Every structure is written in structure tokens, then in C-alpha cells.
């Protein structure tokens, strides 16, 4: 996806300024000092975003990565929040408009749809999001496309463009039409996500989500929003995903929802892989073997889970458990994966001690997965697998 055109090249001096301000904010010890750094950083980041100077922002983020403490988080938080939310003037006072995402975890034997959302479904989604997720006075508009993660905006400026377009849709009480010809193809994988993207508008300072208005504990309120959304929202999503098992995660502001969904998809894809293998190989989970192996680049980067039938050496399928930055080597990730595999009914679980390479297929780029001997192999379904025309390598 092409980056937005840049008006000018930024020098290192400007980049250092962003990092310096983020460092100030991250190391401040009081709310009183925070306010100063926040205001300065907000003004600086806004200038770069307004100029579509994506390159300078990315350079500053790279540099902040090497800095002390929470400098990177302070800068990334500011960039993300100014990307996904803006305050605009209106006759009724200042309005805050914020990009949101409602993620769907989904798997299937056939290609998972990534298509235009029909009008009636849009109306239903609008009603259910309004009733269960957003605050009573919030106004929302949705984009009429069920996006795969790869089809979402790829840059801060594209995300801001989408927010501006959705803001216009809210003003016109309509939805945002996405030209499906402009959207790239979604990858054909067994387990994936789909996203409903929209914007929510409230009077600046007023509640945005339903849980902000609740009188119970915030976590309880959030959970009850989620279960209502899963029930009623799930019924609205269903017609788009007939034949595909799916699970809704909590709709939130754009970046937070995407991150939450990424994390939730790790556990989801384990259950989905087992259900998929049971369906296509007609082998009960109890006869399947799962092999967990840690794959190393600079440090441990991800766990790959290979699946085999019984004690065979061939790998028939695999799934990846990427590690996020605060999951150090000694966190109990392997135990968590073992528990999920056991809950899915897998007969034999093997956790390898070896440091495995981050290997991919030279021909198709598919990741290789460990077998019981710790060899990294290309996953191939058995020849008699019933994939119902699914495109699998
Ligand atoms: Zn291949």
C-alpha cells in the first residue's frame, strides 16, 4: 500500500524534538508536569500528522524504541490517540469524533468472506452497537465493508482520512461507502479476523461508550456490554458469515480493539485449528498430537504449534502464537498453550526444549512448523482431507 505523499523531508533535529518531548512526559512524576509535556507533545505530533509526515513519525518511533523507560509508549500513545480521535467545531459545541473497530474472530474450511456489508445488515449493526456498546447520546456511522486485517488503513494518514470520511457520514446520517475494487484481496487462511469499522461522535467530554454511563463497576459494565453485543450483535453479523464459526470481541477505539483482537486471536486460533482438523481429517482431537516449539530470531519471537496425526512425523497443520513485547522468556506462555490444547481435547501435547529457527517455505512463504522430532516442516493436509474446495498449500 503506498504511503501518503510527503510534503517535505524532516531532518533529525525535528525527530529528536518528538523523542525529547516523549521522554519528558514518560519521566515526569506529577500530573502538574505531565500537563506541560502532554500539551507540547500533542502540538508537535499534530503538526507532523497534519503535514502527512509519516516518515518523520516512524523515525521518531524507531528512535524512541532505543530510549529509556516508557518513552516509546508515551510517543506511540500520543500518535495513536491523535490519529484515531479528533475534536471538531459544530453549531452544538465541540464534538469529539473517534474511530472504532468491532473485531470478529472467525475460521472456516472455505475462504472467509471480506465483502460489502448489505444495507439491512448495516442498519442492524448500527442499532445493536448503539444499544449495547455506545453511550446513549453517541452518534455513529459505519463503513459498509467487512475488512480483513490486511485491508485496514496501513498508515496514520490513511486512518485519519478514514476518520474524516466517517465524520462526514455521521453528519449526513448515512454510512461510508467503500469501493470494493480499491480494497486489496484478503489472504485465504483457515483462521482470521474480520473488522467492522466506524466512527462515534459525542459532545467533547461526554461519555462515548455505554460502560462509561453505568453505575456498576466498570469491568462488570464492560463485560455485560460484551455479552449483549455477542448475543444481539452476533445475530446481526451472522448473515455475513453463514457456515463460519465466529466470536465477537469488545468493540473499542481503533488501535485498542485491534490490539485486543490480536491477543484474543492467539487462543482462538488454537481451538479453531483443532476443530478444523477434526472436520477435514475426520480424526477426533484425542488422536491428534500438538507440538509446541519456541522460534528464535534475536530473542524468542513466537511459538509455533505443529499438528500431526497420532505418532506420525508429517505436520498436517500449524498455528502461530506471536509474543508481544512485554512477554519475557520466563512467562508461562507454554503452560497457557498446553492448557488450551488440553481444553480442545488434543490427545498428546509435546513441548520442545529446542531453540527452533523462524523458518518459512521458499516457494510460498508459509511458515514451517515443528514435528515431534523438532524438525521444521511444511504443513500438508493428508491427501484424503475433505477441505470442501478450501485453497490450502
Ligand atoms: Zn510452500
Q: Is residue 347 part of a domain?
A: yes
Centroid of ligand 1 to alpha carbon of 319 (angstroms): 15
Do 104 and 33 belong to one domain?
Answer: no
The Cα–Cα gap between 285 and 278 comes to 6
- Mean pLDDT along residues 190-194: 95
Residue 145 lies in a domain: yes
Q: Are residues 227 and 112 in the same domain?
A: yes
pLDDT at 16: 87
Question: Is residue 104 domain-shared with residue 164, that is, in the same domain?
Answer: yes
If you measure from the C-alpha of residue 368 to the centroid of ligand 1, how many angstroms do you get, rounded to a whole number? 9
Confirm whether 228 is domain-assigned: yes
Q: Is residue 351 part of a domain?
A: yes
96 and 183 both lie in a single domain:
yes
> What integer pLDDT is reported at residue 1 of this predicted model?
31
358 alpha carbon – ligand 1 mean position (Å): 14
Assess if residue 18 is contained within a domain.
yes
The pLDDT assigned to 12 comes to 64
Phi/psi for 107 (5° steps) reads -140, 165
Shared domain for 73 and 95, answered yes or no, is no
Which residue range forms the structural domain that includes residue 16? 12-82
Which of 53, 82, 111 is a domain's end point?
82
User: What separation in Å is there between the alpha carbon of 380 and the centre of ligand 1?
Assistant: 9
Whether 77 and 164 share a structural domain: no
Give the Cβ contact number of residue 291 at 10 Å: 23
Query: Which tens digits make up the pLDDT trace of 111-153?
Result: 999 999 999 999 999 999 999 999 999 999 999 999 999 999 9
- How does residue 327 score in pLDDT terms, banded at 50, 70 and 90? confident
pLDDT value at 325 more than 80: no
Across all residues in the chain, what is the average pLDDT? Answer: 91
Q: Is residue 196 part of a domain?
A: yes
Q: Tell me: the pLDDT tens digits for 79-88?
A: 999 999 999 9
Specify the pTM: 0.89
Question: Do 78 and 110 reside in the same domain of the chain?
Answer: no
Q: Is residue 270 domain-resident?
A: no
**Any long-range contacts for 215-222 (C-beta under 8 Å, 24+ apart)?**
222/250
* Ligand 1 centroid to residue 290 C-alpha, Å: 21
Number of compact structural domains in the chain: 3
Task: Say if residue 115 is in the same domain as residue 183.
Answer: yes
Please tell me the predicted confidence (pLDDT) of residue 118.
Answer: 96
Can you tell me the mean pLDDT for 280-291? 96
Amino acid at each position: 500500500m503506498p504511503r501518503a505523499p510527503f510534503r517535505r523531508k524532516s531532518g533529525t533535529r525535528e525527530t529528536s524534538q518528538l523523542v525529547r518531548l516523549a521522554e519528558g512526559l514518560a519521566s515526569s512524576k506529577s500530573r502538574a508536569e505531565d500537563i506541560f509535556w502532554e500539551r507540547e507533545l500533542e502540538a508537535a505530533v499534530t503538526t507532523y500528522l497534519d503535514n502527512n509526515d509519516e516518515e518523520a513519525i516512524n523515525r521518531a518511533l524507531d528512535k524512541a524504541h532505543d530510549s529509556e523507560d516508557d518513552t516509546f509508549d508515551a510517543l506511540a500513545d500520543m500518535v495513536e490517540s491523535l490519529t484515531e480521535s479528533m475534536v471538531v467545531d459544530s453549531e452544538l459545541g465541540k464534538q469529539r469524533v473517534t474511530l472504532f473497530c468491532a473485531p470478529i474472530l472467525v475460521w472456516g474450511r472455505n475462504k472467509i468472506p471480506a465483502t460489502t456489508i448489505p444495507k439491512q445488515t448495516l442498519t442492524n449493526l448500527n442499532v445493536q452497537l448503539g444499544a449495547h456498546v455506545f453511550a446513549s447520546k453517541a452518534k455513529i456511522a459505519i463503513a459498509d465493508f467487512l475488512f480483513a486485517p490486511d485491508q485496514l488503513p496501513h498508515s496514520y494518514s490513511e486512518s485519519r482520512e478514514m476518520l474524516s470520511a466517517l465524520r462526514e457520514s455521521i453528519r449526513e446520517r448515512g454510512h461510508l461507502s467503500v469501493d470494493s475494487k480499491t480494497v486489496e484481496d484478503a489472504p485465504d487462511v483457515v483462521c482470521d479476523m474480520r473488522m467492522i469499522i466506524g466512527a462515534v461522535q459525542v459532545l467533547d467530554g461526554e461519555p462515548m461508550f455505554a460502560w462509561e454511563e453505568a453505575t456498576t463497576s466498570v469491568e462488570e459494565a464492560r463485560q455485560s456490554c460484551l455479552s449483549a453485543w455477542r448475543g444481539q450483535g452476533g445475530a446481526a453479523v451472522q448473515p455475513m458469515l453463514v457456515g463460519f464459526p465466529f466470536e465477537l470481541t469488545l468493540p473499542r477505539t481503533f488501535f485498542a480493539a485491534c490490539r485486543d483482537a490480536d491477543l484474543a486471536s492467539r487462543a482462538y486460533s488454537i481451538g479453531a485449528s483443532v476443530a478444523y482438523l477434526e472436520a477435514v481429517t475426520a480424526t477426533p482431537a484425542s488422536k491428534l498430537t500438538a507440538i509446541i516449539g519456541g522460534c528464535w530470531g534475536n530473542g524468542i519471537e513466537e511459538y509455533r504449534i505443529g499438528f500431526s496425526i497420532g505418532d506420525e512425523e508429517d505436520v498436517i497443520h500449524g498455528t502461530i502464537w506471536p509474543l508481544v513485547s512485554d512477554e519475557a522468556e520466563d512467562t508461562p506462555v507454554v503452560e497457557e498453550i498446553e492448557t488450551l490444547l488440553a481444553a480442545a481435547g488434543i490427545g498428546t501435547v509435546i513441548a520442545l526444549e529446542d531453540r527452533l529457527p523462524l523458518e518459512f517455505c521458499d516457494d510460498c512463504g508459509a511458515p514451517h512448523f515443528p514435528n515431534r522430532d523438532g524438525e521444521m516442516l511444511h504443513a500438508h493436509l493428508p491427501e484424503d482431507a475433505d477441505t470442501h474446495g478450501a485453497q490450502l498449500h
